[in-house]
Amino acid sequence: MAEPATNRTGYFGREFLDQLTQRIDGPAFLSRFLKVEKSGDRYRAVCPFHKDSKPSFYIRNDGSFYCFGCQKNGSVFNFLMEHNGDSFPDAVKEVAQFLGVPLPERRGGNELTEEQRALLDVLDKSASFFRQQLEQAGRDSTVKRYLQKRGIDRTAVARFQIGFAPNSWTGLKDHFSDTSEQLLIDADVLVNNTERNSIYDRYRNRLIFPIRNRQGNVVGFGGRVLDEDVEPKYLNTKQTKVFSKSRELYGMFEALQSARRPERLILVEGYMDVVALAQNGIPNAVAALGTASNDAHFQTMFWFTNEVVCCFDGDDAGRTAAKRALESALAALTDEKSVKFVFLPDGEDPDSFVRANGTKTFQDLIDNAQHVADYFVDTLLETNDRSFSSIEQKAKFVDRAKALIRGVKHDSFRAILAQEVARCFPDDVNMEQLLAPASPDQEPFVPPFDESHMDERQEPEPVVSQFGRSLENIKTKQRVSTLLCAPRIWGSLSIHRDLLRRLTNVAKDHPMTRVWSAIDRHRLTTVDGLIASFQDDKLFARDLNEIYDSSNAQAMEDPEETLQQFLDSVESFITTEEAEVERKTQRKRLSRARDDKEGT
């Protein structure tokens, strides 16, 4: 087992590592490597470290894990080291990259460098400057008329903090006369033209869309021309020390303001599409910056949602964009993560479509998007004609299919695609052929969730803890389970400490006492935290885990009633126990009295 990450921080610094684990969505991150399923409030998977058929491998929000089968546990970094054979620095880098967090300088553990902080500051001020310019523009100005023409209203302007770069070479430059020119150039709001030996505003006479990262900081801008004759139509910030085009998505921050975990995200092509959809009641659209979406974009999207619908224009450019999106998406797909495709009628984009046809029609279109498996075949064939005229054509198709299928990381999804492709050739292409490894040293395909090849004897020996036996007492189990399943009442327990004290007096080692004491002592708020607090007593932790799992069905409707029920039940337990203690004391006293008597 690798050294736990708590003991090593390398040159990253504890603060930085904590930032990563606080920010990461552990279950989502690990679902890139495991088939993660939700069980109540928690996430689990079949353990990759021992042979098992049951999901005994639990994942916490910070990416740390614990297996009740083989007892393996550790941080998200330990997971990458154990599972992927990463070195510790590589594991940290991978997590940081996934989160889009820049690595710290070799010395000091701060998340952002001084330079990055300065860049963010200047970008923020630039965004304010652009916003101000838009506010100050007269009602009859080109920019205001443009907004009106495109139907962008005040709420959309406010939501996306849209601004305006004045038609001047030095508007922003003059505004920032006190700021270092180099900093403004590094932030890419000024251009240093060495040929002409002049420094001037990058964005001129353009509508400005600030691009915000997930923390809400402005990291760059997209600028759209107001005069259709000017090229390029869109101007984007180039790569800077705070902006990575291949990672950020326009509208992501805003979409997450509406829902922290949207049911789906809609990937569109342009800034205007994102804005128009939000304005029409569809707040979950995002756009890749520039033309192509890539693997990192899909990783980012799948971090927040399980479904991405790619909505592209029906023209050639849209088809090409969709094909790229498909290739990028393949690596990120699992049983839970799905990608669908929608093509709008020729000449339409989401912006024009939603305005012309309304929210409902657009939403219907998205609801009926084409599943990736269907689209996969259509794209490969690039025609609806599936009666291949030549052998070469067919061979070419199969080769391309094989190459794409190999790109799919997730086994069961790979099988789905192969099945879909094989269906096109009822006679002479079968699944084995499509799934055949590229080279002989690659592992043959084994369906991962077919349990028939599992050796049942490899199951870990069942061990019964002391508590496990006492579980036969149905009331004990019920009380513990009430407490376990209702973290919402934990906060209110502290005002009933007198009851806890009485409970401790009569039944210090009782499971219910132990659980309540732990909640009280560590001020716990989550079941994961609770179970983790018993890590020294693995069997007890396992029992709690099992109780929790088996009682998921009884969701707690009314916290107040649940609390009252629990307190009542504890009260009656204490009364019984106190009476028992009293009886024992009584008996002792009697027997002592008898002894005394006999002694005289």
74/166 with CB nearer Zn ion = 74
CA–CA separation, 34 and 50 (whole Å): 13
85/599 with CB nearer Zn ion = 85
Contact 208/221 with Cβ under 8 angstroms? Answer: yes
At its nearest, how many Å lie between Zn ion and the CB of residue 82? 11
60/202 with CB nearer Zn ion = 60
Name the region of 251 (left: φ>0; alpha: ψ -120 to 50; beta: rest): left
Contact 65/42 with Cβ under 8 angstroms? Answer: no
Q: CA-based angle 544:545:549, to the nearest 5?
A: 115
180/535 with CB nearer Zn ion = 535
At its nearest, how many Å lie between Zn ion and the CB of residue 592? 54
At its nearest, how many Å lie between Zn ion and the CB of residue 163? 53
Task: Look at the block and give the residue holding tokens 């070419």.
Answer: 396
* Binding-site string for Zn ion from residue 69 to residue 108, where x marks contact by CB under 5 A and - marks none: xx--------------------------------------
9/53 with CB nearer Zn ion = 53
Q: Which of 49, 146, 169, 425 binds Zn ion (CB under 5 A)?
A: 49
Burial class for 139, CB neighbours closer than 10 Å (0-12, 13-18, 19+): exposed
Q: Which residues contact residue 539 at a Cβ distance below 8 angstroms, ignoring those fewer than 6 apart?
A: 463, 464, 465, 466, 467, 468
Q: Between residue 376 and residue 435, which ones bind Zn ion under the rule CB under 5 A?
A: none
- The yes or no reply on residue 47 touching Zn ion (CB under 5 A) is yes
Q: For the packed helices 538-550 and 511-522, what is the interaxial angle rounded to 10 degrees?
A: 100
Beta strands in 247-302 (DSSP E): 249-250, 264-268, 285-288
83/488 with CB nearer Zn ion = 83
At its nearest, how many Å lie between Zn ion and the CB of residue 535? 15
47/398 with CB nearer Zn ion = 47
Q: Is the peptide bond before 232 cis (omega within 30 degrees of 0)?
A: yes
At its nearest, how many Å lie between Zn ion and the CB of residue 52? 6
At its nearest, how many Å lie between Zn ion and the CB of residue 21? 21
SS3 track for 115-177: HHHHHHHHHHHHHHHHHHHHHHCCCCCHHHHHHHHHCCCHHHHHHHCCEEECCCCCHHHHHCC
At its nearest, how many Å lie between Zn ion and the CB of residue 53? 12
Q: How many residues bind Zn ion (CB under 5 A)?
A: 6
30/308 with CB nearer Zn ion = 30
Q: Which residues contact residue 579 at a Cβ distance below 8 angstroms, ignoring those fewer than 6 apart?
A: none
Q: Between residue 252 and residue 311, which ones bind Zn ion under the rule CB under 5 A?
A: none
Contact region with Zn ion (CB under 5 A), list: 39-47, 227-235, 263-271, 524-532: 39-47
Q: Which residues of this protein are in contact with Zn ion, per CB under 5 A?
A: 47, 49-50, 67, 69-70
